Structures are given as C-alpha cells and as structure tokens.
Structure 1
C-alpha cells in the first residue's frame, strides 16, 4: 500500500512540474534588446469579424558577449519603449518567447553599447 502511495505522489509531482515548464525557453539561445519603436503592425481579420493585431519589431539584438545582430520578432501587445527584453531564439533567428528584464539583468558588455 505504501508503495502505491509513493508512486501516486511522485506521479503528481512530475505531472505538476511538467505543466509548469515553458518549452519555448528550454534549450534556446538568448539575446537581449532594448525595445524601440514598432516597425510594422500586421492585422488579421478573424472569421467573426474581429481584427487581431501583431506588433512587429525589427531591431538590433545582442548576445551575452556583446555581439550584435538584426532580429525580427512580434508581440500581441505594443511593448513599452525603452524596456529591456531577453529573447529566446532557436535556429538563429526564430524568437520563441521573450520576457522583460531589468537593466541590471542585462550583461554590462551590452548596456555599454
């Protein structure tokens, strides 16, 4: 009986842990950006007539060691200009996720640029 209770507890912990994992961030490269003005706005009309907007940002992004490269990413909402973001990138240029970070979280080699 104790064996089954132990298995049940381990199963619940594993299932709970796996549902909290953001798979769009695991194993991805990270880049840092300071949000600039919106480059473009894409509008899509849904079947019910509602219009969905995606805000497109094309701007320089930096690796942790300070190397710059141009990156394009989208957001469902307009981002706050001047905010710092950590971008999670796969295949060199596909942004899978992002999060706002404080300036102190950005490597100093980047903030100097």
Structure 2
C-alpha cells in the first residue's frame, strides 16, 4: 500500500511539473528563425467589427527584416497596438506561419551584420 501511495504521489508531482513547464514554454518562438527590423513609421490601422459589436483594432506592418548573417527578407505582421517609432524588434519567423511573435530589443543586442543593414 505504501508503494502504491508513493507511485500516485510521484505521478501527481510529474503532472504538476509538466503543466507548469507547458505554461512557461512559448511554442510560437520554438524552432523559429530570428530577423531584426527597425520601426520607422506607424502601422496601417485596420478596424474590424466583432460579432458582439465591439471594434477590434490591429496595426499592419510591412518591413524588411535582416537576419544575423545580413540576409534580408520582407515581412508582413500585425500588432495589437501602434509600435513605438525608432524601436528595433526581433521577429520570430516560421516557414509556413510567417511571423509568429516579436520582442523589442536594443540596437546593441542585434548582431553586427544585421546592425549595419538596419542603420
């Protein structure tokens, strides 16, 4: 009986740890390529009406991004707010999905080859 209770306790502990880990992992950023962009202008504002009548606003950006090797590609992505001008972003890009997420970064955090093309 004691072994059975220890086994049940261990399974519960593994389950709780698994749930915590899954909650912390951002699958949008896993196995994604990183590109860097410079926000120089406001995004294109797009308003959509939801089924409950509320208006949902998104901002569309179409920018050239540069990876750590200095290779450039153009990306279209959306944001829920108008992004700060003169900000630098690191885009997380997946082959089939496109831009899946982004983070604001400092210019000094961007690889040198990408910095040269963004200035």
- TM-score, normalized by length of structure 1? 0.88
The 2-side partners of 1:48 and 1:56 are apart by 23
Partner of 1:106: 110
Please say which structure displays the higher CA radius of gyration: 2
For 1:4 and 1:27, the matched residues in 2 are separated by 35
Please name the residue that 1:49 is paired with: 53
SS in 2 for 1:112: helix
Task: Give the gaps of 5 or more residues in structure 1.
Answer: none
Deviation, 1:76, is 0.6
Question: What is the aligned residue count?
Answer: 113
Distance 1:15 1:53 in 2: 33
More helix by share: 2
Structure 2: which 5+ runs fail to align? none
Superposition deviation, residue 4 in structure 1: 2.8
Separation of aligned partners in 1, 2:78 and 2:18? 33
Q: Distance in 1 between matches of 2:112 and 2:94?
A: 24
Give the superposition deviation at 1:68: 1.2
Residues 43 and 83, structure 2, Cα contact 8 Å, conserved in 1? no
On the 8 A contact 1:88/1:97 being kept in 2, the answer is yes
Within 2, Cα distance between the matches of 1:24 and 1:2? 37
Compute the TM-score of the two structures, normalised by the length of structure 2: 0.84
